[in-house]
Amino acid sequence: MLIIAGHLVLAAADRQTYLDLTHDVARQARATEGCLDFVQSADPIDPTRVNTSERWTAEQPMVAFREMDRQELPLPPIVGADVRRYVIASIEAP
């Protein structure tokens, strides 16, 4: 399993515009075989932060999704980010 998790930083005035413009990306990702979850959401504490979380069955479906030909969106600038890739060897119930 592959997990991509972290956050993006935008100007507070741009955050909702970013989320509105990328809303369909989550729908497209979730419709992609191999995607277990995909979400970008407004952080409830920091008005400049967008939290991101993805779960994929493996690397190949994630790469294929990212390589899909999509229309370029006029996104507001991302001024910072801390997003990491985690490769999970085993999964257990909490």
pLDDT confidence of residue 72: 76
Give this prediction's pTM. 0.88
What pLDDT was estimated at residue 53?
A: 97
pLDDT in tens, 15-67: 999 999 999 999 999 999 999 999 999 999 999 999 999 999 999 999 999 88
> All domains of the chain, ordered by start, with CATH?
2-87 (3.30.70.100)
58-63 long-range contacts (CB < 8 A, ≥24 apart) are 58/1, 58/2, 58/34, 59/2, 60/34, 61/32, 61/33, 61/34, 61/35, 62/2, 62/4, 62/34, 62/35
